[in-house]
Amino acid sequence: MEFFLISMLNGLTYGLLLFMLSSGLTLILSMMGVLNFAHASFYMLGAYFAYQISVFIGFWPALIIAPILIGIIGAVIERYGLRRTHKTGHVAELLFTVGVALVIEELVPLIWGRVPMDYKIPPQLDFTLFTLFTTDFPAYRGFMIFISVFMLVLLYLVLTRTRIGLIIQAALTHPDMVGALGHNVPRVFMLVFGVGAALAGLAGVIGGNAFVTEPGMAFAVGSIVFVVIVVGGMGSLEGAFVASLGLGLIQTFMVAIDYTFADVFAMVGLDSIPPGTVGDMLSVKFSQMAPMMPYLIMVLMLIFRPRGLMGARES
């Protein structure tokens, strides 16, 4: 029970973080048709910026400044890079974001070096929020959940209750019509790209010190975020939400399961599998399989339900 509850909470934290990343990515994807490969790079930049700012003036200003900076960088990249490639088609746009990701991936170790940063949790939040049976639940995890939920509610309200939100929603499906009505659609694109980047940056700010801030962090998260939007259904925010939480939970639980396939077979009475290639395969622990799980789920999803959990169309 204790294991279950703690894993639930950890999985929830991770899943919400994933959704902060995938929500921006999904919005950009369904609006501009661009799969932004540099999205996870913004997450990494968020963590590094926050570290650097927190060295100078502390964590709390960094929480606000870093995402805004990332948002501005994102908007500039959209305005002066992505918009240029727009006329050459989606593949060129995609490749441009790959280029951005490659360059950021190398610029970060250029500036900060390859060793992990000493980006610490702020002392005000470095205490135990509550103790479940015998396991402590750190206050910072609670703070992460709070920030993610707060941002997501805010995003939801902006998208559904404000004028600009309605224009964005309209531009998702009918950009030409929105343009014909006199709205500056390219500027809406730039805004969405910037806000998406800022959200990814914020995820980096609160994720960087909870996990680890190092040059490999973008790639580690990036591919999982892609899985999230495929499994959730391309362009569906609700689907991305369900898939983020689901993948967060599955990964957290898998890491903690210490059984092998052979153990499972033994439970149902098949305990005489000879050692050999097959026997070796079966002696792999579930916890070791955890890194494979998201991709396995994605492939299975594509075979059995190609439009994802809640995707409206088979793009």
Partner 1 sequence: MSDIKAISIAEVDKGMSGIRRWVFWIIAVVAPLILPLIFDSSYAISMMSQMGIAIIFALSYNMLLGNSGLLSFGHAVYFGLGGYFVIHALNAIDAGKFYFPVTFLPLLGGLGGLIFGISFGYVSTKRAGVTFAMISMGIGELMFAASSVLPIFGGEAGVSSNRVTGTGLFGINYGPPIQIYYLIAGWAMVSALLIYALSLTPLGRMVNAVRDNPERAEFVGYNPQRVRFIILALSSIFAGIAGGLAAINYEIVSQEYLSANQSAMPLLMTYIGGTMHFFGPVLGAILVTFLQVVVGVYTKAWPLYMGIVFMIMVLFAPQGLAGLIMQHQPILRAGLGARLIPSYLYAMVSGLIMLLGIISLVEFIYHLSTEIHSGTEMTLFGISFDIASSFPWVITILLIAVGFFFFRRACSAISSSWNSALAEIKGSESHE
Residues at the interface with partner 1 (CB under 8 A):
29, 33, 35, 81, 84-85, 87-88, 90-92, 94-96, 98-100, 102-103, 105-107, 109-114, 219, 223, 226-227, 229-230, 234, 277, 280-281, 284, 288-289, 291-292, 295-296, 298-299, 302-303, 306, 314-315
Report, in Å, the least distance between residue 60 CB and partner 1: 27
The H-or-E segment that residue 131 falls in is strand 128-132
Minimum gap (Å) between residue 81 Cβ and partner 1: 7
Other C-beta atoms lying within 10 Å of the C-beta of residue 89: 11
Report, in Å, the least distance between residue 23 CB and partner 1: 17
The C-alpha torsion from 286 through 291 and 295 to 298, rounded to 10°, is: 60
Residue closer to partner 1 by CB (options 61, 113) is: 113
> Which one-letter DSSP state was computed for residue 100?
H
Nearer to partner 1, 100 or 242 (CB): 100
CB 303 within 8 A of CB 276: no
Kindly report the length of the chain. Answer: 315
Please, where are the H alpha helices in the chain? 2-32, 39-56, 59-77, 83-85, 90-112, 139-161, 163-173, 175-180, 185-208, 217-232, 237-256, 261-267, 277-282, 286-289, 293-304
Residue 109 CB, nearest approach to partner 1 (Å) = 7
Least distance (Å) from partner 1 to the CB of residue 99?
3
Closest contact distance (angstroms) between CB of 29 and partner 1 is 8
Residue closer to partner 1, measured from CB, 98 or 129 = 98
Q: Which is nearer to partner 1, 64 or 281 (CB)?
A: 281
Tokens of 235: 């362009």
Sign, Cα dihedral of 122, 123, 124, 125: positive
Rg of the chain over all Cα atoms, to the nearest angstrom:
21
Q: Measured from the CB atom, is 69 or 293 closer to partner 1?
A: 293
For residue 229, give the nearest of 196, 253, 198 by alpha carbon.
196
Q: Which is nearer to partner 1, 58 or 291 (CB)?
A: 291
The distance of closest approach from Cβ of residue 163 to partner 1 in the complex, given in angstroms and rounded to an integer, is: 30
Torsion of CA 61, 66, 67, 72, to 10 degrees: 130
Comparing CB distances to partner 1, the nearer of 84 and 120 is 84
Contact 15, 248 (CB under 8 A): yes
From the CB of 204, what's the least distance to partner 1, in Å? 20
215 touches 44 (CB < 8 A): yes
Euclidean distance between CA atoms 292 and 314, whole angstroms? 25
The label of the residue with tokens 């898939």 reads 243
